[in-house]
Amino acid sequence: AGGGGAPALGAEEAAEVEELEMDVRILEERLGSVAADAPEVAELTEAVRWRKERIDELMAAATPRAAAPARDPSPATPARTPGSARRPTTAPDSSARKSTRSSTRATPVHPVPATLNQEQIHEVFEYYANFGRTSVQNYQDTIDSF
């Protein structure tokens, strides 16, 4: 992202901008492949809009305040607070970009898609419930062994 006058981003911010731009491309491709009246169009559009806003926020934060021209967000767009910078529920298919991810970076947890049926939701719940119990039990066993 950027041209000759691009602001200097830190390594973490540059990586986030790159990932967000990749997300936007993937989401726009998905948006182009669904029917205009499909129910997921609104979610995809919102996900693209949010990512573009986040890119703008990161770029604005990297630009020195004196040289940063204020870009007026549309009045329909609510102002984001630091605590509200969470991703919307629609996440791109992460398998499409797993090979490009660095193994040293923590992989973000993507939200569960809204298309799961009750059985799948129950399986996910059981997995995490058992995972937590197993971790606690392993910890307790380790403590007890001393």
Residue 98 maps to a domain: yes
Residue 80 tokens read as 């984001």
Axis-axis angle for helices 11-33, 41-62 (nearest 10) = 160
Q: Which of 27-36, 68-77, 102-111 has the lowest mean pLDDT?
A: 68-77
* 1 and 71 fall within a common domain: yes
* 12 and 47 fall within a common domain: yes
- Return the sign of the alpha-carbon dihedral for residues 74, 75, 81, 84: negative
* 85 and 25 fall within a common domain: yes
Q: How many other β-carbons are positioned within 10 Å of the β-carbon of residue 45?
A: 14
42: left (phi over 0), alpha (psi -120 to 50) or beta: alpha
pLDDT digits (tens, 9 = 90+) for 61-91: 877 654 545 555 554 555 554 444 455 555 5
* 33 and 93 fall within a common domain: yes
41-48: list long-range contacts, CB under 8 Å, 24+ apart: 43/88, 43/89, 43/90, 43/114, 44/90, 46/88, 46/90, 47/23, 47/87, 47/88, 47/90, 47/91, 47/92, 48/24
Residue 109 maps to a domain: no
* 31 and 91 fall within a common domain: yes
CB-hemisphere CA count at 13 Å for 105? 14
pLDDT at 113: 58
pLDDT digits (tens, 9 = 90+) for 119-139: 777 787 777 776 666 666 777
Q: Which domain holds residue 89?
A: 1-102
* 88 and 126 fall within a common domain: no
* 137 and 81 fall within a common domain: no
| Domain count for the chain | 2
pLDDT at 65: 52
